[in-house]
Amino acid sequence: MELETKHNLEITLGPALDNTLGAMLVSIIVSASLFGVLTTQCHYYVIRFKQDPIWLKCIVAALWIIDSIHQIGVSAMIFQYNVNHYGDFEYLRQSSWLVSVCGILEPLPAFIVQIYFTRRLYYLNRKLWPVAAFTAILSIISFAMGEASSILTFTFSRFTEYTRNTWLVIIWLITCSVCDIAIAISVAWTLYTSCTGFKQTDVLLARLILWIVTTGALPVSFALLQVVTFMVMNESLIHLAANIVLIKLYSNTLLASLNRWDSLTKGRQGALHLLDNRALSHAGLHPLLSLKKNPPASNKDGLHQIQINVTTHQY
């Protein structure tokens, strides 16, 4: 009698949802917050950097559009599982077409961002072209594996069948992580070796290095988390939850990189700001220096004072 009561209670309550539907719900809430941050960053970029090249503006627009569609898709997906099929525990085990569509969108921002930073790495130090070529190949492989694994999910009816894609998912996320690490280390090393001996320049470069390392660590951490959870906890949906957040991290990383320069250099342009051409170029920017002479009488030693005005443009 007691066994029958316990069995009926399990049927009534259903399976635990903390690592399945719960994980997905939390990730979508975090994703929505990051999408709000991305929208704010895009708005700031459009207002602040009107002189940037059109291709860079198109990249920003493309990332925002992709993330918008993705956010709508995952919101519809959680509504489908939480509302339309509320209490249908059997349906929770089934993979929806919305999951597959969102999965196709998820490798795109990573690919766009990695190619952009690969290009920047090449312009920072052309001697590192083998590293840039290596990261470009890794990003292409990662994108191809990510899209292939997402397309194959259309043929699966249950989440447990995703384990058939194990090798594709592992290659996708490992190559993605290695690409991010290689870019971050190469750019940080290039900036480190570009120190000029001028205090303000070196402080700025140190801040850029710290910014690159910290922002690059977030996507890598989530990608590795997805690999571990997919291999160890493949019956849960934590790996899908991590992937939902990952797409927003990549987009925000690029926008933060574009907007960060403005806050780093604010108040540091003008006289005595000794950023030379090499340091600016290594910071991923085009330097435009204008020299202005002050009247000779202003210097008691009879030497002319030179004022250095620095303006920069992203490339």
Averages of pLDDT over runs of 10 residues in the chain (315 residues) are: 48 62 88 95 92 92 96 90 76 80 91 92 86 94 92 82 81 89 84 70 70 73 80 78 89 88 52 38 41 44 46 49
Domain with CATH 1.20.1070 in the chain: 17-265
Q: What is the pLDDT of residue 290?
A: 38
The structure tokens listed for 86 are: 């509320």
If you ran DSSP here, which 8-state letter would residue 83 be given? I
The structure tokens listed for 60 are: 């920003």
Q: Whole-prediction pTM value? A: 0.76
Residues 6+ apart with CB under 8 A from 288: 310, 311, 312, 313
**Residue 85 to residue 144: CA distance in whole angstroms:** 33
Question: What residues are paired with 94 via a beta bridge?
Answer: 158
Secondary structure class of 256 (helix, strand, coil): helix
Q: What is the pLDDT of residue 261?
A: 64
**Residue 34 to residue 244: CA distance in whole angstroms:** 11
- Cα dihedral 17, 21, 25, 28 sign: positive
Q: What is the pLDDT of residue 133?
A: 94
> Do 176 and 218 form a contact (C-beta atoms < 8 A)?
no
Q: What is the pLDDT of residue 266?
A: 54
Indicate the CATH number for domain 17-265.
1.20.1070
